[in-house]
Amino acid sequence: QAEAAARQLPGPVYVVKSQIHAGGRGKGRFKELGEGAKGGVRLAKSVEAAVADVEEMLGNTLVTQQTGPAGKQVNRLYIEDGADIDRELYLSLLVDRAVGRVAFVVSTEGGMDIEAVAEATPDKIHNVAIDPLAGVTEADAAKLCDALALDGPARADGMTLFPILYKAFTEKDMSLLEINPLIVLKDGHLRVLDAKVSFDGNALYRHDDIKALRDESEEDAKEIEASKHDLAYVALDGDIGCMVNGAGLAMATMDIIKLYGKEPANFLDVGGGATKEKVTEAFKIITTDPNVKGILVNIFGGIMRCDVIAEGVVAAVREVGLKVPLVVRLEGTNVDQGKAILNDSGLAITAADDLDDAAQ
């Protein structure tokens, strides 16, 4: 397949790219290869060299600054034609919440070290917010061209490209569109050489074409399962599983876990209208994480009733078993009934009096 793909390109230079959901691939390293091995984006000067790179990369684990030490297995590769690069630029579109608009972020210092550029020389990063009623005007496009020092054919290309990118961003409900690098070729024209796109998950229902591109092998299995039950779940690196209702309370719970010297294994918000079944599913998801050494359930029963939470916790423990300590802190509506359900369950569940007591 790799050879067939490469032979469809004009050559003689080919670029082999690891397709994982993380940046910094070019400077990444493969766990299974030696220290001197090349990273996750490689330049090959023949079809044979491209095929050799594919054989070395496919199936191995790529570690970058964004993957964490565990890395990600490379299950897909992309082979594209090499480009005659004169300059590498950076361009992204994102939602600038400070001004409430979509904004372009651009820099003449594109390539693999854009994070270092932003930190060391922030004056080289330019921001152009776009009026949603007007879209990208000629003045906006010209401002972007000036910020990227574009002239000649590249400037003409930019004046055409920038409105197209903005239209794609808004019509496809993106949350991030990052092109790094956007290049100026030796012939003076612009080319989009790479792109990273994130979409608003709440808008995917109206984009079947985007949903068809979803690669669940690149996502955390627990997060996929949580989304099926309308649970807000994010996997973290710690060993204390958390189940909380409300994002603010969840963050406070994670903070107090860290205060007492531990790290949360997840963010899990069951929401204000959680049912017994939903709580059971949430508990199952937490217990599938092999890193979890203890579980803290922290519920404030405002909209939600504490007895419903308690019933869900007891049902979940009976269904999946309990191999780690479980501490439950309940407060609010029907709190006494909730505590009674926990105490009468006969299970090894510790009921805490308050959040400080629960964390300890």
Element (H, E) at 147: helix 138-147
Q: Spell out a b/e string for 145-172, using b for 16 or more CB atoms within 10 Å of the CB, else e.
A: bebbebeeebbebbbebbbebbeebeeb
175 exposed, middle or buried (CB, 10 Å; 0-12, 13-18, 19+)?
middle
Task: For 157-189, give the DSSP string.
Answer: HHHHHHHHHHHHHHHTTEEEEEEEEEEEETTS-
Q: Among residues 14, 90, 166, 233, which one is catalytic?
A: 90
Residue whose entry in the numeric block shows the structure tokens 């609010």: 332
Cα dihedral across residues 121, 123, 126, 127: positive or negative? positive
Q: 61 with 31: CB under 8 angstroms?
A: yes
Q: Is 331 a catalytic residue?
A: no
Q: Is 233 a catalytic residue?
A: no
Q: 91 with 180: CB under 8 angstroms?
A: yes
Residue 29: strand pairing partners:
63
Q: Among residues 14, 88, 109, 178, which one is catalytic?
A: 178
Instruction: Tell me which residues are annotated as active site.
Output: 90, 178
